[in-house]
Each structure stands twice: as structure tokens, then as C-alpha cells.
Chains A and B, each alone.
Chain A
Amino acid sequence: MTAAPGATPTIVLIGHGMVGQRFLEALAERGLTATHRVVVLCEEPRPAYDRVQLTSYFSGKTPEDLSMTDMAFIERHGIELHVGDPALTIDRASRTVTARSGLAVDYDVLVLATGSYPFVPPVPGKDSAGCFVYRTIEDLLAIEEYARSRATTGAVVGGGLLGLEAAGALKGLGLATHIVEFAPRLMPVQVDAGGGAALLRTIEEMGLTVHTGTGTQEIVADDSGAVTGMKLSDGSEVATDMVVFSAGVRPRDQLARDCGLSVGERGGITVDEQCRTVADPHVFAIGECAQAADGRVYGLVAPGYEQAETVAATIAAEESSFTGADLSTKLKLLGVDVASFGDAHGAAADCLDVVYSDSRSGLYKKLVIGRDGTLLGGILVGDADAYGTLRAFTGTVPPVSPESLVLPAGAEGGAQLGPSALPDEAVICSCHNVTKGTIRGAVTEHSCTTVPEVKKCTKAGTGCGSCVKVLGQLVTAELEASGVEVDKGLCGCFAQTREELYEIVLALRINSYQALLDRYGREGARGGDGCEVCKPAVASIIASLASTIGASGYVLEGEQASIQDSNDHFLANLQKNGSYSVVPRIPGGEITPEKLIVIGEIARDFGLYTKITGGQRIDMFGARVEQLPLIWTRLVDAGFESGHAYGKALRTVKSCVGQTWCRYGVQDSVRMAIDLELRYRGLRSPHKLKSAVSGCARECAEAQSKDFGVIATANGWNLYVGGNGGATPRHADLLAQDLTDAELIRLIDRFLMFYIRTADRLERTSVWLDRIPGGLDHIRDVVVHDSLGICEELDALMAAHVDNYRDEWATTINDPEKLARFVSFVNAPDTPDPVVGFVPERDQIKPDLPLLSIGMRPEALEGSAQR
């Protein structure tokens, strides 16, 4: 643009949020940072960060993790970034911006990217202590602090997208949480009444209290000015210690108003299709502070990114315009998938709905279809897996009937429409506007061979992340199509899968890792030291086949010791400060008072932090490596053995109290749990194995969330397989019914051995079951009907395991050579690791983290007790 000849033209950006940062990247990509001076005024105390992922702060992301600003990028491009220095005034006549620090900058181009502020309804008491908004990292830090120190109940005003996120955060902080929404349903903008109902049910089941169709009338505070409750428009009162307002956002357009730029009726700096302000050709506005040419203020990041690109292109004198954007969103709110895309509310004339609704499982899916069969939009609640594909099909007539697309997978008539059916123009990543064609190009022309490479090359998948699944499918399909052999090998050392290596080890009776690597490893890996991926995987295969292939059944014997994962090598779980946790086996969760006392005494004598685990046993934390043998000597003496909490092996078989005591029980679930736990203890497998036995259909042991779960019936036992808790929960499938004890055990034997034989490394039974061709039916054929003729072998393998089991801790404490490894320092066996220190917490100990960050123990660090 114009500038005095000779002088470098200056671009000033006000606001360094997500859109502002994207604008800087767009400038750099076009070489404009080289030809222009770029000055950025950033109000917040930190440069741009990922606001979309803000809530992940509560699941462990640090503010640094959320940062979107690479300081090397800023420096490389000579961008003058002023953090913590907001713009105060704009003088359009002299084209000068003045910041709070007094800094005044003359501009040739001014770009406003000031975002929005949270709207706080003008109710009495809204400024009381304990009232918050939810927009910035600083807001979250303040909420966390208040919740931790003085709140047990929290309320969120607003049940929209952000309100639900805020509610999830409060719940995560341990507060009893209320949501107050003025509209008759949750997420009124994104979902319709049916979707709102499904969402409501699921959210109430999680224990949140929802008040819809009612407004907040007053915030009640005590004498000190701190929130104690709120009055609602339906006359009721909710007691609460804190309130988070999430009642929508308003564009931050005050700067623009002050300098005479025009704004829309409901706020938002009015701009044309180039995002240039209507009043002043030198000034642009992008992101949430702008009212676009289509009259809308967009509250999502993807349209803001497009606007940022448009302005950078316009400055570079390229043709570009922003005429409007799609409001598709996919979110996981409180663990529930919610997605809406296209014309979700069926605003188009004459359109028709296809609805699938299953309130029992909290599913609601609606597609909006035009008269001619064109997919116009839709809403998915509870299961949004199809979102990526459906969104990309919007505007076209999908190749299969719309009805089949909303039916759940597995239901009669349900169709799975893969991304391969999509046209090249279909937008896969809407955050970065990347089409299927571009992604295919990344593979075929830019020779990307992995999803991370494609992400880097195209930016697809680096925004909200909702397209990553489809992206992965496309990359694999494209690689396969272009004849590139997709490398299914275990790691850089082996071209075989885990399953293939298992077959090799079993068939050729190979019982040494080095022999396997040198004979069957990839060319370049032979003779080398392997890697951290294949070593434990092969260690596990050797351990589960030990007696059959002539290897020692003791994981610390000979070469096996050197290939075990670190935890298996120390037979304990490493904690963040280098200390260990100790988990003795408590089969079925049944324990005598004497044994409980022994555990208590040991924990007391060694000063260990003690906790009941989620797996019906007791974990003792904070043991230093040289204490492990001492602790285990006492445990073994008292009749305990390793609980394998450190191993990819059988963990626990949980039980309910069952028939013995419970008035409903129909079988002795405790006895069966103990039998199963003792039978499969020590069994090494591709991933951990968990089990449970319930005494009746009430299922108090949660058997259906286990790898193999057993539920008593009047006639025997039902066996369920493939259940999982964790991050991607899955209910187990019924494999067989009304089994006798012997039938049950035989089926589990075979099921486990077949899993160990064919699963990938770190593949739980749930994932394995969904992956292997034929799924549950195939497994039933193999283990019940012996369709592969391998049952005899599976039975023999399990019998060998059961016969040869020995407790590895008992073996270790009797082996002086192995014990010598349990020291902090090889040259000072009696000296404890000085960075393992502890501080008190709730009458017990916890790791001394400041000590860890220093890395060395300064003399007599205050408050940290070393034991």
C-alpha cells in the first residue's frame, strides 16, 4: 500500500489473539513482513494462545502448552510485538495509534483484531467476589484459585457452548455444579429441541443440575461481599459459592467507535468483503470484533482465520474476499460429542428431516435434506463420528440414502460412508479450509507419508482437531492407492507386526531378543541395540510364551532383564520424582484384617503415602529404589505377591460381595474373582488386562467395562469381552451365556491366548475386537467353535503359563545379584537419591516438586523432609 517513497510502510495490528496471530503468519507467508514494518499491540500479559483449547488447562495443559506464538517466528520476521500494552486511541486523521505505555505508532495499514468480551447481564450483585467470566487464561487461573480455596458449589449462567465448557471445568474442579439457561434447552444456537433433550439427559446423568427456561435475577452475597447464591426468575434460589457468567460475547469495538468508525446495530465493526472498514480504506477489522459483509459477527475461529487470510492477500494486492462462512462445529462437551453443520435448523424452504433418536443411550442425530436429496446440514449428539464425512458431503447428494447415515454402526441398514467417497473439492478441515484434494496432493506431490507430515504441510488438523480422524483415513487410503506400501512394521527395527513376531518366536522357538533382531530385524537395525518400542514388545512376547519356547519365566533373568520396560525392570511403578509405588496383589479385593494391618505397618514404617486404588487394592507411594527390596521382603513374608501394577499383564479381577452376603447374589462372585485372578496372575500381554465378576445382573463389580467380565446368572456365568474404561470407554460384548465354572475358564483361557497372539502392541482388547476382521463373531468362532483348529494349542499355552507361574518379587528378594541393582547409585549404594524428597499433605506425604525443579538438594531446604 501507499507510503512515502523510501520509507518502509507500517502495518499495525491491534490485538494478538488467535486471529491476529494467524494474520501475522499470513503476512509472513506472502513475504509482507520483509517489505513492511509490523507492529503488534497485545493487551493480554502473554502472546497469542489457543483460546479454543482453553478448557484443556483443567485437564493438565499449561499456559505454555496453549501458546500459539513461536517467538523464533516473531523474531525471524522482525515483528515488533508489545505484550501487555493495549492500544488506547486511534487518530485516523494523523494515522497514529497510541498505546497505554505511551508508545505512538504511525500506520499505513491498521488491522483491528480485538476479539470479544464476555457479556455479563446487568443483574444486581454481578460484581460480588466469586463472580467470574470465562475467556482468558487469567480468568481460568482466577476461577481455579477461588474454587480450590473457597467454593464447593458453582453455577454457570448460560447453557451455550461456552457455558457447558465452563460447567465441565467447575465439575472437574470438584464443585457441585448448576447451569442456568434462559432458553428452553441447552446449546440453543447449535441444537434443536430433540438434540437439547438428549444433551440434557446425558448431562444430568453426570450429576450436574440444569435449570432451563429460567433467567438469573440477582446474585446474592454475604456481608463480606462474597457470593452465596442466586435468585432465578422462576422464583427459586440456588445456593452457590461462585458464579461464572457465560451469557454470550460482544464484539470489542469501542476503540473503533471512539474514532468514528461505523459499527453494526448489535456491535461489530462493519467491513466489506475485503474486511476493510466501510469508513476508512486504511483500516481493517477481522475476527470476532468485525461484522462481516454478510451482516454477521462470527464467534468461531475458522471464519476469523479466513478473514485474516483475506486481509493479508488484499495488502499483497491479491484478489480475495470473505463473503460468509459455515458455522459447523464439533465439540466434546463434558465428554459428550455434539456437532452441528450446515443448515442445522432446517431454515431452507421445503427441506425435510431425517431423525434418529435413542434417549436410552443419549443419541440424537438429525439430517436436513433438500427436496432433491441434497444434504443441507444436521445435528449429531452423543456420537459425532460421522461429522467429518457428513460435513464434507454438505451441499451434495450423498451416494447412499440419508437414513442409513444416521443409523448407528452395526444397526440393520446402517451404512458406513468412508471419506474415500468424497469429491476432491470437499472441505475436510474447516478450521484451515483444506480440501480433500489438497490432502491427497500432500501425499502424492509433497511425498508426505504420515499424518503429522500432512498436518505440517497443509495445516489440516491443527485447529480444533475434529477432522483428524478423517484425515488419518484419507492419508492411509491415498498411500495405499499410490502403491506406497504402508509400513505396518512394529518400529524402525522390525518390519513385522507384533502378531507376526509372535508367530516367528513361537514357531521357531526364538527365546532371545538379539537373535530375533539380528535374524528378522530390518536391514539397518540388525546388529544394533534395538529401540524402546520393540524391546518391551518382544520382552512381553517372550514372557507370555516363556515355558513353551524354553525361556526363563522370570522377567529379570539374563537378557530379558535388559529389554524390560523401566517399570518391569524395577518391578514397581515410577512416579514423577523418581520414587516408586508398590501395589501388592489382593485377589478379588478380598483381604483379611491381619494382612490389612501388615500393609498399614509397612506403609507407616517406610512413611509411604497410602491410597485405595480404583482397582480394589492398596497402593503405597514414595518408596525409593533401594527401599523396594526391604518393603517386599516384609510383604512376601506376610504372604503377599506382586500385583503387576507395573506390567502389561493381568491387573485386577474386581469382585462384588456376591451371593455369600448380598441378598440379590446368585453365585459366589468373590470366589470366582479370586480363582480367575490367581489363574491369570503374571500373564504378560500386549496391554494390561482387567477383569471383574459380579454376583448378579445389578453388576456392582462393573464387569462390562473390563477386558473380560463375568456376570452371574441363575444358571451359571455370562462372559463379556472387550470392555474398557479409560479415555475411550467401551461396553463389553456378550461372548457366551450360562456357562459352568469349567466352561467359563476354558473360554477365557482361549480368549486371552488368542488376544495375546494376534493383538498389536499396546492394543487393549476393546480396540483389538473392533479391529480384527469379523470382530466378535470371528472370535466366537475361534474360541467356541474352534474354526481355526488352534484351541488345543491355546489351551496348552495357558496351561503352561499357569503351571510355571512364580511370584517375581519372591524370586528377586532371594537373588543377591538382582538385588544389587536396586540402588540409587552404583558407586554409593547406601546413599539415597537426594532429589527424591517429600513434603506433607493431608497428614501424609507428596513429592517435593520445587526440589525436583532445582535438580539438586540445597542444604536444609525448608519444609522438605527427607526420609
Chain B
Amino acid sequence: MTLAPESTTTALKVQLRVADGWLEVCDLAVLLPGRGVAALLPDGRQAALFRDRDGALYAIDNRDPFGGAAVLSRGLTGTHQGRPFVASPLLKQRFDLETGQCLDDEAVRVTTYEVRTAAS
């Protein structure tokens, strides 16, 4: 096993933009492509973070605006017409990961967060 690439990925941290700067959330290696995680923000809100198979990162509000539960991070992700989305595990509405726009209901949109990786 080669150790070098492993250690470079674990050294990378995922950070979220919050009101007063960047919040460090987890190791990049924890984010499986196609599967999300939730992060608790200092103001009590929750963000859902995802990584697609090309390595791009996304973060949107974790709360499903239809059902109210904080579960969007547990949905399945995919690509719809070239755009990344997550489908809520509750009632399956899909949300664009870049804009937060609900693809199944024009009137609904969730907050998005800026996300980046940084070496720790």
C-alpha cells in the first residue's frame, strides 16, 4: 500500500463559510463521493455537505423544507441535466446542490453555504 496519497487527503480539511469566517468541519476523507454528512453550525443551524465523484464539494441547509426534519444530508445524490442534486430521504424532492433550488417545486429553495478544502 502506498501511504503518500492517503496522508495528503487526510490532511485536507473541509471548511464551511459562516458569519465570522471559515468553520472547519471534517477531514475530506470522511466525505464519501455520493454520500453526505451533516454539520452543526455555531448558530444552531445545520448544513449538509456532499462531494461528487469528481471531487467537487457542496453544502446546503440540512433541513428538509417539506417535512421539517434535518435529514437532507442522508439523501441520495445524482446529476440531473448536468447539475448536481440531492433527493430528500423523506419524500424524495430533489434540490440543486449549487443553488439550493428545489427541482420539484419552483417556489422552494434552501440556503447554500460556501465550502472549500484547506490544508490543516
Contacts and interface: CB of A to CB of B under 8 A. Distances in A.
A418 to B, nearest CB: 33
A821 B31 CA distance: 10
A847 B37 CA distance: 23
A251 B75 CA distance: 52
Contacts of B17: none
A819 to B, nearest CB: 13
Chain A interface, DSSP helix/strand/loop, else mixed? loop
A652 B90 CA distance: 24
B93 to A, nearest CB: 10
B71 interface: yes
Q: Residue among A524, A570, A574 with the most chain B CB within 10 A?
A: A574
Interface string B7-36: 000000000000000011110001011110
Interface string A559-571: 0011101110110
A532 B74 contact: no
Interface residues of A, number: 42
Looking at A535, A570, A827, A856, the one whose CB has the most chain B CB atoms below 10 A away is A827
B94 A532 contact: yes
A562 B34 contact: yes
Given A561-B35, A852-B69, A567 B89 contact: yes
Given A529-B84, A562-B35, A853 B68 contact: yes
Contacts of B26: 826-827
Interface stretch (A465-473, A585-593, A830-838): A830-838
B44 interface: yes
B92 A532 contact: yes
Contacts of A834: 44
A529 B75 CA distance: 13
Contacts of B30: 820, 826
B38 A574 contact: no
Nearest to B89: A566
B52 to A, nearest CB: 5
Contacts of A530: 34, 78-79
A566 B74 contact: yes
Contacts of A532: 75-78, 87, 92, 94
B39 interface: yes
A529 B90 contact: no
Contacts of A194: none
Of the listed residues B37, B68, B90, the one surrounded by the most CB atoms of chain A closer than 10 A to its CB is B68
A119 B99 CA distance: 54
A576 B80 contact: no
Contacts, number: 111
Given A529-B79, A532-B76, A825 B38 contact: yes
Contacts of A857: 44
Interface string B44-69: 11100100110000000001000111
B118 interface: no
A653 B40 CA distance: 42
A530 B80 CA distance: 8
A531 B40 contact: no
A565 to B, nearest CB: 7
A655 to B, nearest CB: 33
Given A532-B94, A826-B25, A852 B67 contact: yes
A852 B82 CA distance: 33
A525 interface: yes
Nearest to A533: B78
Contacts of B92: 532
Contacts of A335: none
Given A532-B87, A855-B63, A576 B40 contact: no
Given A492-B80, A561-B35, A820-B30, 19 more contacts: A529-B52, A530-B79, A531-B78, A535-B34, A536-B76, A562-B34, A567-B89, A574-B89, A576-B69, A576-B90, A577-B68, A827-B24, A833-B70, A834-B44, A835-B68, A836-B69, A852-B67, A855-B68, A856-B44
The 8 closest A-B pairs by CB, nearest first: A566-B89, A531-B78, A852-B68, A562-B34, A578-B69, A528-B79, A532-B87, A826-B37
22 contacts: A492-B80, A529-B77, A530-B34, A530-B78, A531-B78, A531-B80, A536-B76, A565-B89, A566-B75, A569-B35, A574-B74, A574-B89, A576-B67, A576-B90, A578-B71, A824-B38, A826-B37, A827-B25, A833-B38, A834-B44, A853-B68, A855-B68
Interface of A: 492-493, 514, 524-525, 528-532, 535-536, 561-563, 565-567, 569-570, 574, 576-578, 820-821, 824-828, 831, 833-836, 849, 852-853, 855-857
